[in-house]
Amino acid sequence: MDSDLRFNEDGNIKIMQLTDLHYTNDDEADHKTVALMRQALKDEKPDFVIVTGDMVYGEHNLEFLPKVFAPLIESGCPWSFVFGNHDSEWGHSRTELLEAGMKMKGCMASHDSSSIDGVGNHIIEIKDKNNKTKWAVFAIDSGDYNPMEQVGGYACVTRNQINWYQNKIYELKDKYGDFSALAFQHIAVPEHLDVFKYEKCYGIKREGCGCPRVNSGLFYAMLEAGHTKGLFVGHDHANDYYGNLFGITLGYGRAGGYGTYGAPDHMKGARIFILNENNTESFETYVYLENGDVIKEPWGYVPLCRRDEG
């Protein structure tokens, strides 16, 4: 498997984000999830798929990994994944799951460095016809639960992961100059709350933001390094909103798993991204729904308060 992606002849590349598939019991709900994945792949024909965590859950996590990834393997489409908080909560470890996934057909996941926290942090570059990277996809392991008893709650991306991210941005800048990055992880950052509070957002917000209780500074590091145009997550199954905060789009994918919670009238689906080799300033995104519909003009939320209101 090539370690890079390529733009199509029209200069575009289509990326599908799947998230929170929660293959748990190998039952009817899980089979329905896999059927949705197959239909979404057939209808949208993505060039690359990123799965943003909570693919499997429970003591049979390693056994169920090829089952939940079967539609991706069969499609022939390149794909990758990052871990959520539930993937290795029971059963086999993240390292065992990553090693198993990397052996599957079409999988582009890897582990960029053993010296940083998390498992499966990696980058996939998207090159134009001149072999120049115009976009880069960053896959980040956002962990599971905060190990500090006095804090608790969900984990956050750690300092050495943040340093890794910035250093990779600087390396790509030195090598290619003009390029942009789109980052994916499972757990939201606290700024996913801020963007909904202060900026106009689009999509659906049906639950709170399950972000860490402390801010480790990933978003600030993205601003400082430049080039990052978006950070998209999963984790909160009834959210799919996005908004722009200081030039970076913060958003959610659309949860796709039937064997887990969700709002009663909140259909399962996927999020789609269109990137262009000649436009590194912005990207197109929309939601694919289980009934085959797409939402390209989502509901808009006005900011909850002005920034000077605190």
Residues (pLDDT < 70) of the chain are 1-2, 306-310
Nearest to 272 by CA among 243, 296, 237, 239: 296
Please answer whether residues 156 and 215 qualify as being in contact, where contact means their C-beta atoms are separated by less than 8 angstroms.
yes
- So what's the pLDDT on residue 308? 63
Nearest to 141 by CA among 153, 155, 151, 152: 155
Distance CA 37, CA 201 (A): 27
- So what's the pLDDT on residue 233? 99
- So what's the pLDDT on residue 303? 83
Q: Which CATH superfamily is domain 12-301 in?
A: Metallo-dependent phosphatases (3.60.21.10)
DSSP single-letter state for residue 223: H
Model's pTM, two decimal places? 0.96
Domain boundaries in the chain? 12-301
Which residues does 146 contact at the CB level (< 8 Å), separation at least 6? 152, 153, 154, 155, 156, 212, 213, 214
Q: What is the residue whose two structure tokens read 């499997």?
A: 56
- So what's the pLDDT on residue 265? 87
- So what's the pLDDT on residue 113? 78
- So what's the pLDDT on residue 14? 99
- So what's the pLDDT on residue 309? 56
- So what's the pLDDT on residue 16? 99
